[in-house]
Amino acid sequence: MSAAGVALMLGGAGILLAASPAQAASVTFKTECIPPAISGLPAIQGETTVEITAPATAKVGDTVDVTWKTIKAASKNPDVLDLEKNMVEPSGDLKVGGAQSGVVKMQGPRENPPIPKGGEMKLSTMTGKLKIEKAGDITLTPDKYVITVHQIMKTETKCAPKEAVKPGATIKVGGGSGNGGTTNGGTTNGGTTNGGTNNGGTTNGGSGGGGGQTDFPGKAVDVKFDCGETVPGGITTPVTVNAKKNGGSFDLTVKTAKDAMKAPVALPKGALKPSMNIKLGGADSGTVKVTGPANAEPIPAQGGVSLSEMTGTYKPGKTGKVTLSPADMSIDVTMVAGGQPLTVPCKALSTGVSLELDTTAQQGGSGSPSTTGSTTTTGGLADTGAEDEGGIKALALVAGTVILLGGAVFTFTPWRRLRGTR
């Protein structure tokens, strides 16, 4: 379909209309880009130059094609990592103004040439469609856009204008017989995964303190975690809470799935140290924190990964039946011995009761406030559900040298140091 003669389909009628020659105009605007929260980096200030292409004229009822070509992104590829071919995918909003209002959702393919360290960011051309509803001059103005990078793992940098932006194109619309409709366009990108908390589930386990029983096995419950934008759709893993009576208290042992994930790169001994909150319900309230040791052996690339068993002590503060449910989980990740660990939290969106205990209140007992998952870092955690692209996205995050964030980088152990030369 050439720019000089775009074939337009009249919505639902199957009649082709000849559109006027396309017009293209570039516009530059000051831009602020927000890196993913996991990076802990400040906002990036820069300038964006784009070229908007649309028909010069149209009629009411037409559906026209519009394009957004990024001439210059707000920042360059940092001097740390070469970005491989076809790893960058843009999306954005094109504001509709003048005689008509709305937003055209623009989407570009995951296409880019290799981008060297320090090179200009290369974003593919985005396209969308606009249904013409009203006569008059309709303006098209570039607005916010998202840079999605799929190298190592998925990250999104969200950019928005910091000044009033001039229209990139104007369509002169004459009268016509077309009826109205909603402005529509390409695929929306960068949405946030949501999920409500589901605290259902069937209780299981024995009665603590009665009949001489000391061991109280729990049942496995599927827990859905939201690990932020680094793990689209979240992850799900079975979690089991077991208890052993110890005087008036209970020693807890928490297990997750075994070998349910693959390591994207080789992981050294001591790289992963998990922790989790166990939520108390029924007669008691609060949380009990359980922690596990770091992995005792190195894990080869593509090898199976299991989080270690986590343990802690529950000292009842109330008498009665108390339920124990898995809650938020986090992992301390350390890729270099003696290095500063990165705490990567995942919030439990849905869970269930794994164990119910009969308890007797103890002096100074009851759960403590939640401490896991409260760090400022957000993002991926081990993918114990083995879903969507497989492997452990948090480990890919850490093992990868740099996560490209538009103009910012998140640096851990150099990629080549982990994998050897490419």
Residues 294 and 351 in one domain: yes
Helix or strand run (H / E) with residue 362: none
Residues 154 and 245 in one domain: no
> What CA–CA distances, in Å, run from 268 to 344, 391, 393, 399?
18, 16, 17, 11
Residues 348 and 239 in one domain: yes
* Confidence at residue 232, expressed as pLDDT on a 0 to 100 scale: 54
Residues 20 and 136 in one domain: yes
Tokens of 155: 């990250």
Of 101-115, 211-225, 260-274, least confident by mean pLDDT is 260-274
Residues 148 and 286 in one domain: no
**Region of residue 320 (left: phi > 0; alpha: psi -120 to 50; beta: else):** left
User: pLDDT digit string (tens) for 80-117?
Assistant: 677 889 988 999 999 999 999 999 999 999 999 998 88
| 185 falls within a domain | no
Residues 55 and 143 in one domain: yes
The rounded distance, in Å, linking the Cα atoms of 45 and 9 is 41
Higher local confidence (pLDDT), 7 or 359: 359
Residues 169 and 224 in one domain: no
Mean pLDDT estimate for the chain: 74
Rounded to an integer, the average pLDDT of 361-387 is 48
Q: DSSP E strands: which ranges in 150-248?
A: 155-161, 169-174, 215-216, 220-226, 235-246
CATH of the domain at 39: 2.60.40
Higher local confidence (pLDDT), 228 or 57: 57
Residues 167 and 230 in one domain: no
Residues 222 and 118 in one domain: no
User: pLDDT digit string (tens) for 60-78?
Assistant: 999 999 999 999 998 777 6
| 419 falls within a domain | no
Q: Please state the domain count of the chain.
A: 2
* Confidence at residue 379, expressed as pLDDT on a 0 to 100 scale: 33
Q: With a cut of 70, say whether residue 126 has pLDDT above it.
A: yes
| 253 falls within a domain | yes
Residues 49 and 148 in one domain: yes
Helix or strand run (H / E) with residue 296: none
Range of the domain at 166: 7-174
Amino acid in the structure at residue 35: P
Q: With a cut of 70, say whether residue 118 has pLDDT above it.
A: yes
User: pLDDT digit string (tens) for 377-390?
Assistant: 333 333 333 333 43
| 57 falls within a domain | yes
Residues 27 and 157 in one domain: yes
Amino acid in the structure at residue 199: N
> What CA–CA distances, in Å, run from 307 to 42, 170, 275, 327, 382?
32, 57, 10, 16, 9
